[in-house]
Structure 1
Amino acid sequence: MNIGLTGGIACGKSTVAAMLVRRGAILIDADQIAREVVLPGSPALALVAERFGQGVLQEDGSLNRKALGEIVFRDEAARKDLEGLLHPRIRALMRERMETAERLTPDKLVVVDVPLLFESKLEPMFEETLLVYIPRELQLVRLQARDGITLQQAESRLAAQMPIEDKRRLADRVIDNSGTIAETERQVDEYWIRKESE
């Protein structure tokens, strides 16, 4: 069975992904795949530099994520252009890795960590969607603390994603990560036991 794991920025999705892996799940990380498709020398990176300028490249030819982020978090058209360049490549590699995992380990739960699952309308790729949830106010607090950014910067990053309450309505299952780690672990245990019995 494959699960699309998602959440808002700073909701603790990676924490929950790690908990699932410790219980035996196979993890496919869309962010990792997104980094792979823009490695130096890749066709995707050349297209990104062509669209956004050489300023989005480091001196060593790798992607300057911070510079690119400054552009796309401010400009929705630019963000859509970037998604148009990268998302088809990311999806193809994601699908390929899912098929490989299902073929090689058919008895394992395959968890695909996809930050923008609902925004990208990827629900049909998965048998079930699992949302890691915290309320928006807590997202802002955790995001500022995690990235060392201002409230205004945190607000603009949240504005670039679907509101967490909308994601909550769309998800098949929800893990509330606004409490303690122990409370999150308990919910993951319950989820895991239910999956094993299906």
Structure 2
Amino acid sequence: MLKIGLTGSIGTGKSTVGKIFSELGAYVIDADKIVHALLRREDIKEKIRKEFGDVFDSKGEIDRKKLGSIVFKDPEKKRKLESIIHPEVRKEIKRRIKEIEKKDPEGVVIVEVPLLIETGSYRDYDIVILVYAPEELQIERLRKKGFTEEEALRRIRSQLPIDEKVKYADIVIYNTEDLEKLEQNVKSVYEKLKERVEKR
């Protein structure tokens, strides 16, 4: 089995790439989805309530927008949130990988993690794939999603610059053109990954 870490920066299109890999037959684990599930757990909610106060909606669920507006303005608060969430995410990813390995030892497992490099968890993978788009394109895509330029920049700059991330990547997928071109790029990478598994 091949364990691959898939990352990028906000607005580079890593979720789209993850979806294409999944359609091609890879097992894709989305760390963001794990985070969503964790934020509904009572023990996690309690830790967040103690640390961040009232960041809950009328149904008692964590309001991600409210929480986001706090952590993206304060690096210390961001670190605090990560110390609550990241160990649990890593535990769940490991559990899922083991499950897949039992079922399909020849499989290609792709774990989509936004902060793969920042957290140092890139070391857990055989290969690191980075989805790349320059900053101006990231801003343009985030603005289309309804962010102001200032909000977009704050989110982009809260992560390691995309050009720094390139240094950690074994494979870079450029997402600077249309979807068709991106699909071709991902397919070509996936074929190489399958070959690599077969040679093991």
1:28 aligns with 2:26: no
Q: CA deviation at 1:59?
A: 1.6
Match of 1:8, SS state, is: coil
Q: CA deviation at 1:140?
A: 0.8
Indicate the residue corresponding to 1:78 in structure 2. Answer: 77
TM-score, length basis structure 1: 0.96
1:188 aligns with 2:180: no
Gaps of 5+ in 2: none
Aligned length: 195
Q: CA deviation at 1:138?
A: 0.5
Indicate the residue corresponding to 2:167 in structure 1. Answer: 169
Q: CA deviation at 1:112?
A: 0.4
**Cα distance in 1, alignment partners of residues 169 and 176 from structure 2:** 17
Q: CA deviation at 1:21?
A: 0.7
Indicate the residue corresponding to 1:154 in structure 2. Answer: 152
Q: Superposition RMSD on alpha carbons, in Å?
A: 0.9
Match of 2:183, SS state, is: helix
**Cα distance in 2, alignment partners of residues 75 and 182 from structure 1:** 39
Q: CA deviation at 1:162?
A: 0.6
Instruction: Give the partner amino acid of 1:145.
Output: K
1:142 aligns with 2:157: no
Indicate the residue corresponding to 1:46 in structure 2. Answer: 46
Match of 2:12, SS state, is: coil
Indicate the residue corresponding to 1:7 in structure 2. Answer: 8
Identity %: 35
**Cα distance in 2, alignment partners of residues 130 and 8 from structure 1:** 12
Q: CA deviation at 1:42?
A: 2.2
Deviations 1:136-191 (A, max 9, x none): 11001111112x12111111111110101111121110100111111111111211
TM-score, length basis structure 2: 0.95
Match of 2:49, SS state, is: helix
Regions of 4+ moved over 2 Å = none
**Cα distance in 1, alignment partners of residues 129 and 9 from structure 2:** 12
91-100 or 69-78: which moved more? 91-100
**Cα distance in 2, alignment partners of residues 193 and 93 from structure 1:** 28
Match of 2:60, SS state, is: coil
1:18 aligns with 2:16: no
Gaps of 5+ in 1: none
Indicate the residue corresponding to 1:128 in structure 2. Answer: 127
1:54-73 to 2 correspondence within 5 Å? 55-73=54-72
